[in-house]
Structure 1
Amino acid sequence: MALHLAARLHAFVHGLFRSSDELETRELFDKVNALFRQNKLSNKEARLDLVYNIVSVVLVEFQIDPQHPQAKVIIELILDIFNYEGFFILPNIDWRERKSVSAYWELRDQINVQLNLIEDFYKTKTIITLAIIGFLEPIYSACPSLLSSVSSDTDITVSTDLVRNFGDIGEVTEAVLINAFDLALEDAGLFARLSTRLEQNLVIASGGNPADPRAHAKAFKTPTKSDIKDAKNLATTYLNGTPLLRLFLQKVDFSIPTESRFEHHHIIAGSGHGKTQTLQYLIAKDLKAVAKGQRSVIVLDSQGDLIRNISNMAEFAEGGPLHDKVIIIDPTDVEWPVSLNLFDVGIERLQNYAPLERERLTNSILELYDFVLGTLLSAEMTQKQNVIFRYVTRLMLHIPNATIHTLRELMEPNSQIKFAKDIAKLSGTAKRFFETEFASKEFEQTKKQVLRRLWGILENQTFERMFSHPKTKLDLFTAMNTGKVILINTAKDLLKEQGSQIFGRFFIAMISQAAQERAILPENKRMPTFVYIDEASDYFDRNIGIILSQARKYNVGMILAHQYLGQLDVKLQEAFAANTSIKFAGGVSARDARTLSQMLYCDPNLIESQPKGSFAAYIRGVTKSALPLSFPFGYLENQPSMTSEQRKALQKVMRRRHAVYYTELDIANGDIKSGEAEELDTTKKPDDVSTDAGSEW
């Protein structure tokens, strides 16, 4: 029936008779919208469900737990890609608004893109999913630690830039680009915006005009051929303006497992590369575990800077979480020499052990004396000449209150007469040796050589005072098992090279002995202990393998740091390589890099290319090959520090617990008579005065 004229006019005004472009556009829109509803994509929530569906497939592909940090990264990546490409979003059209022909064409183009996506929805979803897996696969292959299990709260974790952890950033970036330019994506009409932007970036990197990429006639400079040295800059150049860049710029938590740390850690880094800063970071992390009662920490430092930075932390001040846990051994506090004795090795405690344990520990102690006092013996001495040293040290264990002066006296002529009563306490071969061989001419030269070196060491008054005590005022066995922080300054500038070496070896031997004594404890009662030794080459000889293997058995891990391989002879290098599961290398010579690359299973260039604060890091059983690992500078220095008054108060506590005022020693040794001391007023202990050394803590 014909419409009334007024009705026809009303219909025309309100759009009943619309242009063919509008009608065509609306029909297309309604068709695609119906397909969206059919595939349950009618709203934002449904689109988000699709994203999570793809996420779940990707997580299964890479065996990632939904609670793993990478799950969030993948969710954000897929959301970014969906929004970047406009996947499954129909344009918001106000049909009441009249538009130009070109506007309708543009709208139909947008709707046709969505039609292409939704017509074969399953195929589209599959291609998108495979593409995302393709983008991620090169990254996870290059850095498997990204997918490792969430670390224990007792592990050391380092937050580092992911791009610094790729062995070859160019290869990883190029692999991602190749996947983005896959012909299957182009044929499916997918990822058009992404491929266009990546092509523009490639043109820019190759020196061309991004506004006209097709006009670029020269060969493209791909990431593997790029001259860009900085990993972050390279990734940004080729991936800028795309969701993929965010993948490369993420931070990654690299964890050093506690169990691996018990298998020891070797750090080799040239001067100024960041070795001390790295040690400080690791120590600071360990101190948090100490505060929770989860471990002990021991630090040996010959330069003093490391000890000073650590001991200055406010956590050690009165009221701090580590106040009652700290022990500071500082030879530079010369008026208060720490009370030490090479031969006070806890024999009384050993008497309470079963005969087998007692004999085993006694033999270990004798073995460790070879290590401690090995510097007194010439490298040219024969094994036969070394026999005297073994018997002498066994005798020392039977002499009450024996000190380093007792050892000196034993090396002097006719000492077998002076110590006849003590020799009588020995039995068997040891006793027979002193009765028949000790005074013979065959060993006379050996005794003279040891005596001469002893006099040389004892000439250092500070060293002599520290080792003149009949009793050691530090029980390392107890300290290590009760969660202490033990800071030992071996003070090379004060004790000089040989004195510092013996001082450091003494403590390493005490640590080793305390570790072996843990055999009497159940495994769950052996407090994890980590021993940091800076400039470790100063202290170790070929006994290092024995010391490290014994320590490992009893939850004691050592971190051994020094500057270059030449500080270790070939046999010692082999011992370090075989007995350390964690290896860091950076800032070394090309020659050292070649040698170390075999231990770290990497290319020498990876080691040589590490910037300051970064290392090629390898962990046996954790990484297939070395990967770059960066440590922040100034981490420890940025922690709250003690005030001057707090340092003085802590120094008083350390003096009272572990030292003796120097005049007491001089009186005991007969260097000062009691009356002279009173006259000089030197026996009054200035507890209220801090020495210069104390103020430097």
Structure 2
Amino acid sequence: YKEFESDTLNALTNALSKLNDATEGGGIQFVLRPANDRWQKRGQLIASAMKSGKFSDDSLAQGVMKGLGGLLIPSLANTKADDKAKSEFKPLTPSQEKVLQLIAEKASKPGFEMVTRVVTAAPTSEEAKISLNNILSSFNQYTSDTNRFTIAKLPETEVLKQFIFRLFSLGKPDVFSTEEVTTLWHLPTPRLETPNIRWLRAKRLPAPSNLPKEGITLGKTVYRGMENIVKIKDDDRRRHIYCIGKTGTGKTTWMQNLAYQDIMEGKGVCVVDPHGDMTDWLLQRIPKERIDDVIYFYPPDLDRPMGLNMLEAKAPNQKQEAVAQMISIFYKLFDPTGTNQIIGPMFEHYMRNAMLALMADDEAGATLVEIPRMFTDPEFRKQKLAQVADPVVKQFWLQEYAQSQRGQQSADMLSYVISKIGRFISNDMMRNIVGQTKSAFDIREVMDDGKILLINLAKGLTGDLNSNLLGFILVSKIQMAALSRADIPENERKDFYLYIDEFQNVTTDSIATILSEARKYKLNLIMAHQFVTQLDEKIREAVLGNAGTMISFTIGPNDTEVMGKQFAPEVTANDLINIENRQAYVKLLIDGAVSKPFNLIALPPMGIARPKVGTALRKLSRLKFGRDKRIVESEIARRNQLFRQNEESDLNSPRPENMR
């Protein structure tokens, strides 16, 4: 190869690339094995004889020493020790000097016995012969004064047998040095000009030898022709699964398959879907024995809205937790970067006391819809304060708030609260959902009874902000329900699997609590999203620090700095960017220990779609858990003299400095 100006592999691969993909096939096979050192000794013997001038001038033309394989060597067949004419010393000619040098170079390197085969297949014999000749002609590049290939035609059945079983031919095979073998074949380099070569875009890594044999299937791994199914045990799932990947890389299908397996195994499942495709896909695959377990939450169903009340709590500690979660939700919705420029301590202070005062009335219940009336309706406020036992809350309303009514501050605060709450309660769809005092389903019951809760928050129909609010409320209620399981023994707590796609849109800073504490309450998270930059630093550290199993489909260049550290040193940034669609790198938790990264191939969509089943389940769920719109609106109207005014957006609403 050192004597060639271009890569010799080009000619061979170019010849193969000319085959018709649809009707023709072809292959070049090199079968080799290490040769013993007898060929080197023979080469040294020949070189010694040539140096002593024991060959006639025409000896180079007499034959080839086949044991040296392809290299033209003077034959010793006619040399006789007693032939005085041959034994006389004669100076070497330039051509003999060249041959002597080549013999010495070749004999100084390790050798391999090698057989080269070419086979082709085509619809007709003539086409197969044409393809064969095209490939054979690519070997002409190796022909020179001292090297050449000769073609040996064998019966078709014999050739196929030798090709299939990679056999050595009968007789003495040719011997090639390591440099000659490299010239014939080597791994393609980027400089190779042949089209249609399938390049390995990312590194392939072997799976650990202790892959679990039980649990749900994450996918499969293929390494050097060996295929293994990748499973994860239930106990390891309690340490949660984190998945990242750009859109279109296969992570949604992967999540669907996991949720489908959990449903088929009778487990409790909740899927929070911001797009709607996953929940619709799962609805069509619900087995008949689990039809009664399904709850399908679909906000755009205006005729039969399902209630979802964040302020629904009985015990004092639950009320405090619900309020804290609601405050965190407001921060995430309106001030996600934590600048305190949009909402701040004053807003939090007023909102907390308003919600706690409303929640003190257990009989009437409390919702977000009543919050404005706490600031605008003195009679309503008086009725609610009569139920308040908390002295701190009472003091706020009777003293602090009363004093704040002087001047412009009261109007400013009212406008500020309305600008945040009003956008939800003035929306018919949202008001009829968050304005119901009793939620359509009990999250704790869903978890304990192992039901299937499918949350379709399709943003195109629900709206971004509305979708995020409902997602925040649902995830927060699930967290509170999980923590409330402290009232039953751990061995009685059923595993419940929470799937959240685009989880950055529906999780607050309390995700750290879920990840660290929820394991003992058997709330198991499967979280997915697209970019690391979607997570603020606190949530990112909580996720990366607590997720037991980590999966990375194709990611963008900006994410490699963070994710590269998680998969280093086995996986590089280039690997994370270039891994093929539907493939991922995974660090799998196995019996509590994290494995080294290895390749994972996502499986095709599981189950059989039954659209009629999906349609029937939608109707059944809305009848069981939804309520007639007219009844809901009538109840809300009775409880509230709705405050109506033109609400402005956050950016345009008044924002006095003393309200921060």
1:429 to 392, 395, 413: 392
Q: 2-side partners of 1:570 and 1:433: how far apart?
A: 35
- In structure 2, the partner of 1:455 is 422
Does 2:333 match 1:338?
no
1:313 to 281, 285, 288: 285
- In structure 1, the partner of 2:538 is 571
Number of aligned residues: 442
Q: 1-side partners of 2:410 and 2:501: how far apart?
A: 37
- Offset of residue 233 of structure 1: 13
- Offset of residue 659 of structure 1: 0.5
- In structure 2, the partner of 1:627 is 598
- Offset of residue 656 of structure 1: 2.5
Q: 1-side partners of 2:376 and 2:551: how far apart?
A: 50
Q: Secondary structure at the match of 1:560?
A: strand
- Offset of residue 341 of structure 1: 2.2
Q: 2-side partners of 1:234 and 1:226: how far apart?
A: 18
Which ranges in structure 2 are unaligned for 5 or more consecutive residues? 1-109, 119-135, 143-148, 150-167, 191-197, 206-221, 639-660
CA deviation profile, 1:547-601 (whole Å, cap 9, x unmatched): 3333223110111111111212233322221232221112211221232011233
- Offset of residue 663 of structure 1: 1.8
TM-score (norm 1): 0.58
Q: How does 1:506-545 map to 2 (within 5 A)?
A: 506-545=473-512
- Offset of residue 199 of structure 1: 11
C-alpha contact (below 8 Å) 1:200/1:213 kept by paired residues: no
1:550 to 517, 522, 525: 517
Q: 2-side partners of 1:312 and 1:392: how far apart?
A: 43
Q: 1-side partners of 2:453 and 2:578: how far apart?
A: 35
Q: Secondary structure at the match of 1:321?
A: helix
Q: How does 1:22-171 map to 2 (within 5 A)?
A: none
Q: 2-side partners of 1:232 and 1:616: how far apart?
A: 10
- In structure 2, the partner of 1:585 is 552
Q: 1-side partners of 2:232 and 2:599: how far apart?
A: 13
Cα distance change on mapping 1:469 and 1:198 into 2, 3 Å: farther
Cα distance change on mapping 1:460 and 1:223 into 2, 3 Å: farther
- Offset of residue 527 of structure 1: 0.8
TM-score (norm 2): 0.61
Letter in 2 for 1:430: V
- Offset of residue 643 of structure 1: 4.8
- In structure 2, the partner of 1:268 is 244
Q: How does 1:651-662 map to 2 (within 5 A)?
A: 651-662=618-629
Q: Secondary structure at the match of 2:422?
A: helix
- Offset of residue 329 of structure 1: 0.6
- Offset of residue 283 of structure 1: 0.9
Letter in 2 for 1:612: N
Cα distance change on mapping 1:539 and 1:314 into 2, 3 Å: closer
Q: How does 1:440-451 map to 2 (within 5 A)?
A: 440=404, 445-451=412-418
Q: Secondary structure at the match of 2:463?
A: helix
C-alpha contact (below 8 Å) 2:503/2:529 kept by paired residues: yes
Does 2:365 match 1:401?
yes
CA deviation profile, 1:256-275 (whole Å, cap 9, x unmatched): 23223222222111011011
CA deviation profile, 1:484-527 (whole Å, cap 9, x unmatched): 11100112112211111110011001101110110001111111
- Offset of residue 215 of structure 1: 5.4
How many percent of aligned residue pairs carry the same amino acid? 20
Q: 2-side partners of 1:642 and 1:571: how far apart?
A: 42
Q: 2-side partners of 1:627 and 1:220: how far apart?
A: 30
CA deviation profile, 1:651-694 (whole Å, cap 9, x unmatched): 332122210111222333449xxxxxxxxxxxxxxxxxxxxxxx
Does 2:610 match 1:610?
no
- In structure 1, the partner of 2:328 is 371
- In structure 2, the partner of 1:57 is none
Q: 1-side partners of 2:621 and 2:426: how far apart?
A: 26
Q: 2-side partners of 1:198 and 1:438: how far apart?
A: 95
Q: 2-side partners of 1:216 and 1:551: how far apart?
A: 60
Does 2:260 match 1:284?
yes
Q: 1-side partners of 2:437 and 2:320: how far apart?
A: 22
Q: 2-side partners of 1:608 and 1:330: how far apart?
A: 36
Cα distance change on mapping 1:248 and 1:366 into 2, 3 Å: same
C-alpha contact (below 8 Å) 1:223/1:234 kept by paired residues: no
CA deviation profile, 1:269-293 (whole Å, cap 9, x unmatched): 1011011111111111211222xxx
- In structure 1, the partner of 2:353 is 391
C-alpha contact (below 8 Å) 2:490/2:520 kept by paired residues: no
Letter in 1 for 2:355: T
C-alpha contact (below 8 Å) 1:300/1:532 kept by paired residues: yes
Does 2:376 match 1:413?
yes
- Offset of residue 534 of structure 1: 0.8
Q: 1-side partners of 2:328 and 2:522: how far apart?
A: 21
Cα distance change on mapping 1:234 and 1:287 into 2, 3 Å: closer
Q: 1-side partners of 2:399 and 2:318: how far apart?
A: 27
In proportion to residue count, which structure has more strand? 2
Letter in 2 for 1:288: M
Letter in 1 for 2:609: S
C-alpha contact (below 8 Å) 1:361/1:516 kept by paired residues: no
Letter in 2 for 1:532: Y
- Offset of residue 397 of structure 1: 1.6
Q: 2-side partners of 1:393 and 1:471: how far apart?
A: 16
C-alpha contact (below 8 Å) 2:358/2:365 kept by paired residues: no
- In structure 1, the partner of 2:232 is 256
Q: Secondary structure at the match of 2:389?
A: coil
- Offset of residue 213 of structure 1: 5.4
- Offset of residue 396 of structure 1: 2.5
Cα distance change on mapping 1:264 and 1:249 into 2, 3 Å: same
Q: 1-side partners of 2:319 and 2:203: how far apart?
A: 60
C-alpha contact (below 8 Å) 2:367/2:437 kept by paired residues: yes
In proportion to residue count, which structure has more helix? 1
C-alpha contact (below 8 Å) 2:310/2:477 kept by paired residues: no
C-alpha contact (below 8 Å) 1:375/1:498 kept by paired residues: no
Does 2:454 match 1:487?
yes
- Offset of residue 314 of structure 1: 4.8
Q: 2-side partners of 1:261 and 1:396: how far apart?
A: 39
Letter in 2 for 1:382: G
C-alpha contact (below 8 Å) 1:388/1:443 kept by paired residues: no
C-alpha contact (below 8 Å) 2:283/2:617 kept by paired residues: no
Does 2:199 match 1:229?
yes
Q: 2-side partners of 1:219 and 1:226: how far apart?
A: 16
Q: 2-side partners of 1:530 and 1:334: how far apart?
A: 29
Q: 2-side partners of 1:220 and 1:396: how far apart?
A: 82
Give the root-mean-square deviation of aligned CA atoms. Answer: 3.5
Q: 1-side partners of 2:294 and 2:455: how far apart?
A: 11
Q: 1-side partners of 2:530 and 2:174: how far apart?
A: 53
Letter in 1 for 2:260: A
Q: 1-side partners of 2:541 and 2:223: how far apart?
A: 40
Larger Rg: 2
C-alpha contact (below 8 Å) 2:113/2:174 kept by paired residues: no
Q: 2-side partners of 1:394 and 1:212: how far apart?
A: 91
C-alpha contact (below 8 Å) 1:326/1:485 kept by paired residues: yes
C-alpha contact (below 8 Å) 2:482/2:521 kept by paired residues: yes
